[in-house]
Structure 1
Amino acid sequence: MRYDSVVATAPGRLERRKARTRASIITAASKLFHERGYEETSIQHIAELADTGVGTLYGYFSSKDEILREVLQTERDEALDRYFASIDRTTPYMERACMAVLALAAYLRNNRTILTAAFQVSARNRQIDESQAEWLHAGFRDMVQAGVAAGEFRDLPLDATVRMLVGTIMLAMLGIGNWAGEDEKPELPETLVTLTRAILAR
C-alpha cells in the first residue's frame, strides 16, 4: 500500500473513532442519568460505562452539565425524527399539532428524570434551560403560524398561544404544580390533544 493512500484515509478513520467514542459517552451518560439520576452519576461512572478514561472524556466534554445538554439534544433529535417521519406536506395542520403534542408528551415522559435534573442545573447554567425552551417554542410557533395562514386555526395571539400550549404540556407531563399526580395517568397525552384541538380549532 502506498504511503500517501494511508495518509489520505487516516483522518477519516480517526474522525470515525472520535465519533464512536463521543457517542459511547453520550449513551453511557443517558443510561446512568435515567437509572441513577443526574446528581448520583459521576464523571467516573460515565467514563467506566463508556469504556474510556476520565481524561479522554474531558477531551470531549468540559463538564457533566455539558454532557447533560448533549444527552438532551440527542433525545430531542430522536423525538423530532419520529415526529417528522409521521407527517408529510399533505398532513392537515390540526393533525400535525396533535401529533406534535403526543411527540412532546412522549419525550417529556421518557426523559422526566433527566429533564428534572436539567431544570435544577439551569438555576446555575441558564444555557440548558434556554436551549430546551428555544426549540420547543420555535417549532410550535412555526406550526401554529402556518395553520393560521392556511385557515385551519383560529387567529390567536401567536406567542401567548405557543407559550400556553408548550407550558401546559410541560407542566402536565412532568407533574408540576397543580398537575402533580396527573402525569402518571396514561390518558393524559390524549387529554392534552383534546385541549389543543379546542384551543386551535376555528
Structure 2
Amino acid sequence: MTAAPAAPGRLERRKARTRAAILDAASRLFHEQGFEDTSIQQIAELADTGVGTLYGYFASKEDLLREVLRVSRDDAVARYRAAVAGDTPAIDRVCTALGTMAEYLEAHRRLLVSVFRLAARSESFEDDYAEWLQRSFTELIESGIRSGEFRPVPADAAARMLMTTMMTASLGIGAWAGRAGDPAAIVEIQQLARALLLR
C-alpha cells in the first residue's frame, strides 16, 4: 500500500502564499498603471514583502509579466475546456475558442501591448503561448476536417487568419479601429469562421 503524499509543510505553504501575493500585486499594478509605469518596489510594497524576497521568486519584472499572463491564460483555457464537451460540434469548438480568445484579449489588452513592445525590443522576450495557441487552433480545424464537418481548407492558414482577425478586432486596430470590445465584432468573426469552414 502506498502512503498518501504528505501535506506541504509550513515553509512551503508560506512560500506559496508569498509567491501568490507577489503575483496578485503585480497583476493589479500592471492592469491599473501599466507594465512600464510599475516598479518592482511598488509590487513588493503591495505584496507586503521585500524587494530581495521578490527577486528570490522572480528574476525580473519581465518574468513577473510572463507569469501573470501565464496564470491568466491557464484560466482562459480552463474556461474553454469547461464550455465544450466531447461531443461538441467542431464549429462550436472553434467559435468558443475564438470567444475565449476575445475575452482574454479584452481583459489583458494593456498588458499585451507591453508584451508586443518588449518582444520588439528584445528577442529574449518570447511568448510561447502564441505558438501553442496557433497549434491548438490548427488542431481544432484539422479535427473538423477529419470528422467531415469542415471543408478541406489549409488548416494552418485558416487558423492564422481567424486568430489574426480576432486579435485585431479585439484590440480595435487596422480595419477594426474603433471596435475594441464590441461584442458584435466577435459574433461577426464567429460567423466568418462558419462561412469559411463549414461544408
What is the TM-score of this pair, normalised by structure 1? 0.90
Q: Secondary structure at the match of 2:121?
A: coil
Provide the rounded CA distance (Å) in 2 between the counterparts of 1:18 and 1:134: 31
Q: Which amino acid aligns with 2:157?
A: A
Does residue 176 of structure 1 match 2:173? yes
Q: Which has the higher helix share?
A: 1
Give the drift of 1:24: 1.2
Q: 2:25 aligns with which of 16, 23, 28?
A: 28
| Aligned match of 1:149 | 146
Structure 1 unaligned regions, length at least 5: 1-8
Are residue 161 (structure 1) and residue 158 (structure 2) matched?
yes
Alignment root-mean-square deviation, CA = 1.6
The answer to whether the 8 A contact 1:119-1:129 is kept is: no
**Structure 2 gaps, min length 5:** 1-5
What is the distance in 1 between the residues matched to 2:123 and 2:12? 31
Partner of 2:58: 61
In structure 1, how many angstroms separate the alpha carbons of the residues matched to 2:76 and 2:194? 21
| CA-CA distance at 1:55 after TM superposition | 0.3
The residue that corresponds to 2:98 in the other structure is: 101
| Alignment-mate amino acid for residue 76 of structure 2 | A
Q: Does 1:71 align with 2:68?
A: yes
**Partner of 1:125 in structure 2?**
122
The equivalent position to 1:196 in structure 2, one of 182, 186, 193, is: 193
**Counterpart of 1:80?**
77
2:42: which partner in 1?
Answer: 45
How many correspondences in the alignment? 194
Counterpart code for 1:172: A
Is the Cα contact below 8 Å between 1:173 and 1:183 reproduced in 2? yes
Give me the whole-angstrom Cα distance separating, in 2, the residues matched to 1:181 and 1:158: 30
Residues 136-188 of structure 1: CA distance to partner in whole angstroms, max 9, x if unpaired?
10211111111110111111112211111111111111122222211142322
Could you tell me how far 1:13 is from its partner in structure 2?
2.5
**TM-score normalised by length of structure 2:** 0.92
The equivalent residue for 1:5 is none
Shift of 1:198: 1.1
Determine the C-alpha separation between the residues in 2 that align with 1:140 and 1:11: 37
Q: What displacement does 1:49 show?
A: 0.9
**Runs of 4+ residues deviating >3 angstroms:** 125-130
AA matched with 1:173: S
1:116 to 95, 113, 126: 113
**Secondary structure of 2:9 counterpart:** helix
Post-superposition shift, 1:60? 0.7
